[in-house]
Amino acid sequence: MLTRILNSPVVKSRDFKLLAGAAFFENVTRGENVLLGWVILELTNSPFMVGLALGIRHAPAFFLGITAGTISDIIDRRRLIQTLMAGAILVAFVMGCLLFTDNAALWHLLLIPAIGGTIHMMSNTINRSFVIDLVGHEHGLQGMSYLGLSMRTGGLVGALLVGYVLAEWGAGAGYFVISIGCLCAFLILILIKSPGDSAPSRTGNFTNGFSELWKELKRNSTLSALVLLVMCVELLGFTSQALLPSVARDIWNMGPGGLGILNAFNSAGGILGIALISLFGKGGRQGLGFIIVLHVFGISLLVLGWAPSLYVAILAITAMSGCMALSDLFSQTLLQRLVPNDLRGRAMGAWTTAVGTAPIGNLEIGALASVLGVTAALSIHGGVLLLLAVVTLGAFRTLRKI
């Protein structure tokens, strides 16, 4: 099996390995969920405010996702991600300085992470299109799997490292760690030489880019349905992340180090899920695989809400995060298969816009947890997600066959 992996055209691609390495270091920034969630919870003692802060951080995805995808279809993706990473270094460093000197006000914690979130949203949108530029459609699923594996591993390291630094030296030092991660990613990205053999022709202009995507969405009903499904899964499933600080502190009486451990398992589940797909997945019936993942996702949320012990909760978090990773992997690959090559960036932009509805879900689940409790909020979201999965299995025949 190791020989098969090492002989894979994806692994042999120098520029793809550099992209995956940069993605590892960039995703140390996922530790910001630990930092921001804990600081806001300590400052306001409100799960709703945690949801608001995380929602604002992810809000740019909804408004700028298609814009980012359109830009990536007409401009060299290498230059874009290099420029974005330079900006990410600066934003994380500024936030670290404000927290380290005790000059950070609530509005800083809401505004500056939103700027960083915009940068990372654009970078991730472009990276996912850049994968197929480098490895081609034939190896797209494997390339996306390895990229996702690298991203999740970086998230695991970031959660553990940032959680430890937060507990020992405070949130300011945690943001300095994130800044260093972005610097390492930037230094790796500038080594990438090729735009990729499967890069789009980069014809057309920014204005036409929007109209071309809109025409494709109207013409391709499967594409439109999949974008809508991704949006629903984001609202029901992914927004459960906003409750992890409350799960750690209010249910299991854990401190910031404990929250970092929960987030580490959150990343570990994603790593395990993607590793299994990258090793054993053959690329067929991806639509059916996506639907199966949604069923497990809903069940894991229900188990987390009613977990009788911390160990069961950790298992549920691991399964939940694995489903998150696989849901992303399948939906991203499916969307790029459903459109012409010159629209792949915009397809990823549509995906980013769909997941950009997270602020609505973060606010909703935060409010629900404040009124009914964390257990009830997780149970309601898990039950509705499971119902959505059942309906999708029965109603979307075309998706099952892709």
CB distance 97 to 87 below 8 Å: no
Judged against a pLDDT cut of 90, whether residue 18 lies above it is answered with: yes
Which phi and psi angles does 215 have, rounded to 5°? -65, -40
The pLDDT value recorded for residue 382 is 95
Q: What is the CATH number of domain 15-197+216-401?
A: 1.20.1250.20
Quote the Cα angle for 247-250-255, to 5°: 85
192 pLDDT tier (thresholds 50, 70, 90): very high
What is the rounded CA–CA span in Å between residue 190 and residue 307? 46
Residue 326 has pLDDT above 70, yes or no: yes
Can you give the pTM of this predicted structure?
0.78
User: Is 75 strand, coil or helix?
Assistant: coil
Mean residue pLDDT across the chain: 86
What is residue 262's predicted lDDT score, i.e. its pLDDT?
86
| pLDDT, mean of residues 122-146 | 85
At 329-353, the pLDDT tens digits run 899 989 988 888 888 999 999 998 8
- Check pLDDT > 60 for residue 155: yes
What was the pLDDT predicted at 198? 75
pLDDT score of 12 more than 80:
no
What pLDDT score does 269 carry? 84
Query: What percent of the chain has a predicted confidence (pLDDT) above 90?
Result: 33
Name the residue with higher pLDDT: 138 or 13: 13
Tens digits of residue pLDDT in 97-113 = 988 888 877 888 888 88
Q: Is the model more confident about 201 or about 334?
A: 334
What residue spans define the domains of the chain? 15-197+216-401
Could you say which DSSP state residue 343 is in?
A: G
**Once rounded to an integer, what is the mean pLDDT over residues 117-128?**
87
Least confident of 189-198, 203-212, 315-324: 203-212
- Residues 130 and 77: beta-carbon distance below 8 Å: yes
Distance CA 48, CA 243 (A): 9
DSSP string, 33-70: HHHHHHHHHHHH--HHHHHHHHHHHHTHHHHHHHHHHH
DSSP tag of 31: G
pLDDT per residue as tens digits for the range 159-186 = 788 888 888 888 889 899 999 999 999 9
Q: Does 1 have pLDDT greater than 50?
A: no
Q: How much is the average pLDDT of 46-52?
A: 76
Using alpha carbons, select from 109, 119, 249 the residue that is nearest to residue 186: 119
Q: Which amino acid is at 175?
A: Y
Closest CA relative to residue 47, chosen from 35, 34, 56, 38? 38
Question: Considering only CA atoms, which of 318, 355, 385 is closest in space to residue 125?
Answer: 355
Cβ atoms of 118 and 254 within 8 Å: the answer is no
How confident is residue 9, by pLDDT bands cut at 50, 70 and 90?
Answer: low
pLDDT of 194 above 70: yes
Which residues are CB-contacts of 328 (< 8 A; sequence separation ≥ 6)?
148
Residues 262-304 pLDDT 10s: 877 887 787 888 877 776 655 567 889 899 999 999 999 999 9
Distance between CA atoms of 233 and 378, rounded to whole angstroms? 14
Q: How confident is the model at residue 2 (pLDDT cuts 50, 70, 90)?
A: very low
Q: What integer pLDDT is reported at residue 264 of this predicted model?
A: 79
pLDDT band of residue 204 (cuts 50, 70, 90) is: low
pLDDT number for residue 11? 72
Most confident of 31-35, 91-95, 119-123, 277-281: 91-95
pLDDT category of residue 223 using cuts at 50, 70 and 90: very high
